[in-house]
Amino acid sequence: MQGGGKPAGEQRGKPQGVQGGRAYFGVHALKSFLQGLQATGEKPIVLDLSPASNTNLEYFLQFGLKVYLYDILREVNEREEGLGDTNVKVKVATLAMRLVEAFPFQGIPFDGVILWNTLDYLSDLVFPIVLTKALGALKDKGLLYAFFFEETAPLAYERIQIANINQVTVEPLPALSAKRLRTFSNRMIQDLFGGHKIEAFYMTPNGIREVLVRKHS
């Protein structure tokens, strides 16, 4: 599946609907993610690595999930800024070590990890560290659910919130100063998860890519 982009200047695709001032966009892999978790036959444990959303938390609790929240984006931004102009190799090693030390859920085997659109907002030095941490937190055969925005999406951070099993809303989060730093092509996304099984890869009409990955150790 080759990467591609929309023509420069084209706006995010038309939403499925608008209610209460919010635009609603269709999604496909959320249902598969939840079904995969429930198929474990246990009370699934999930790690959400995005800025906290009470809407999303309450939604997941309806499905009997035990959810841990950790805003990796805010954590990384604060720790990366503190490194200044350190040598690149030293910066990567130091940041990786600090994130491991700060991670509050060491030793918990997660059935699922949710990244939402977090990787779009991390620097080239940092996103591989975060992705490695996310996959490392999963049990073998655990599921990772992630979104990647298209090149015409706003640069300012946008939070994804669940409306229902088939729809999400995308809204600004002014309190978070993170900016979108890249656009992953479809091929780049596939390469990120080499060695693991991509169970679902959808591109919504508005250009958001949804990815569901099953970990293979």
User: Residues 165-204: pLDDT tens digits?
Assistant: 999 988 888 878 888 988 999 999 999 999 999 999 998 7
Q: What is the mean pLDDT of residues 8-15?
A: 43
Give the confidence band of 63 by pLDDT, cuts at 50, 70, 90: very high
Q: Tell me, which fold does domain 23-214 have in CATH? A: Rossmann fold (3.40.50)
Q: Which whole number is the average pLDDT over 60-75? A: 90
pLDDT at 81: 64
Of the given ranges (92-101, 102-111, 204-213), which has the lowest mean pLDDT? 92-101
pLDDT at 112 over 60: yes
DSSP readout, 188-212?
Answer: HHHHHTTTSEEEEEEE-TTS-EEEE
Mean per-residue pLDDT, 132-149: 94
Q: Is the pLDDT of residue 80 over 80?
A: no
pLDDT for position 8: 30
d(CA 187, CA 3): 5
Residue type, 156: A
Residue 11 to residue 174: CA distance in whole angstroms: 21
Can you give the residue ranges of every domain in the chain? 23-214
Compute the average pLDDT of residues 14-41. 80
Residues 25 and 18: their CA atoms lie apart, in Å, by 9
- 15 pLDDT band, cuts 50/70/90, is low
pLDDT higher at 103 or 127: 127
- Backbone dihedral angles phi then psi of residue 163, each to the nearest 5 degrees: -95, -45
Average pLDDT, the chain: 83
Q: In terms of pLDDT, which residue wins out, 87 or 209? A: 209
- Give the position of tokens 């990384």: 76
Q: What is the pLDDT of residue 14?
A: 56
What integer is the mean pLDDT of 42-48?
93
Q: Which residue has the higher pLDDT, 67 or 104?
A: 67
- pLDDT for 5 equals 35
Better pLDDT: 135 or 170:
135
Q: Which residues contact 134 (CB under 8 A, 6 or more apart)?
A: 47, 49, 72, 113, 115, 144
pLDDT given for residue 166 in this prediction: 93
Q: DSSP for 104-147?
A: TTTT--EEEEEEETGGGGS-TTTHHHHHHHHHHTEEEEEEEEEE
